[in-house]
Structure 1
Amino acid sequence: MKQLRSPLYLALIIPALLALTDLLTPIDQPFRNTLAKLSSHAPSHSTIVLSFDQGIYAGEKSIIGTRRLATVIEQVAKQMPQRVLIDTPVVFGEDRDGDRKLKASIDRLKPDASFVVRSKELGTLGHEFVPSDFDIPEPAQIANIPVVLSAWNTNFMEYGVSSAYSIEVNGRSYPSVAAFLAEKSGGPQNYFGPNTLLDIESIPFVPVEKFLHGEYQNGLMTGRTVIINSAGVVRPVGYFGHGRYHPLALDLAGADALGLPFAVNLGYYPLLFGVWLLIAAASRAVRRRTKFVLYGSSLAFTFCVPAVLQQVGLTADIGAAVPCLAIYSSIRLWQLRVRRVQHTSTSGLPNFLALSEQPLGVGRDVIVAIIARYEEILATLPKELHGECAKQIARRLSVGSGIETIYNGDGGHFAWTEEARPLEMQLNHLEGLRALFSAPLQIGSFTFDTNIHFGLDRNEGLDPQARLNSALASANDALGSGRSVELFEADRLAEATWELSLHARIDEGLRNGEIWLAFQSQWDMRTSELCGAEALIRWNHPTRGPIAPDAFILQAERAGRIDALTYWVVDEAITATLALNSLDRHVQMSINLSAQMVDKPSLVANFAEIVRRRNIDPRLLTVEVTETSSVRNRPAAVQNLSQLRAMGFRLSIDDFGTGEASLAYLADLPSDELKLDRRFVSRLMTRDRERHIIRSTIDLAHALGQTVVAEGIEDEATYRALADMGCDVGQGYFLGKPQAFPEFYKVFLELGRRRFGVV
Structure 2
Amino acid sequence: MQAVTHIIKNKPSIRNLRNAVIILFITGFFGIAELGAPFELAIESIRNKFRAQSVSQEIAIVGIDDASLARVGTWPWNGEILSELTDNIFEQGAERVFFSMVLLEQSKASDQALADTFSNYPGKVFLAAKKDRAQPGAPEADILPSSKLRDAAQLASVNRYVKFWNGVDEVDARETYQDQEIDAMEMALADKNAGDTQSIPVDYSYQLSSFPYVSALKILDSETSPHRFDGQDVIIGLNGSTLSTRYATKGQRTAPIVFIIGLGAETLKRGEPTILGWVPIWLLSCGVALYILSGLPNGRQLTVGTISLTLLMAAPFLLLPGNIWIEVAPSLFLIGWCTTSTAWQRFGARQKKSGSTNPVSGLRTINAIRHDDRCDNRTLISARIRRYTDIVSTLPAESERKLVHEILSRLQLCAFGSEILQGDDGNFFWLSDVSDPTQMADSFQAMSVIFRSPIRIDASSFDVDVSFGVDQEGDITLSHRISHAMAAARAAESESNYWKLHNPRELDQKSWSLSLLGEMDAALENGRIWVAYQPKVDLKTRNVIGAEALVRWTHETRGPINPAEFIEVAEQHNRIDKLTVFVLNDALAFANEARKIVPDFRIAINISPGLLASDAFLVALKIALHRHDFEAPQLILEVTETMAMIQSEAPAKIMAQLRELGVGLSIDDYGTGMSTLEYLKKIPATELKIDRSFTADICANSNDQKVMKSTIALAHELGMKTVAEGIETLESVEMISSMGCDLGQGYYFARPMKGEDFISMTLNEYSQLFNIG
TM-score, normalisation: structure 2: 0.44
TM-score, normalisation: structure 1: 0.44
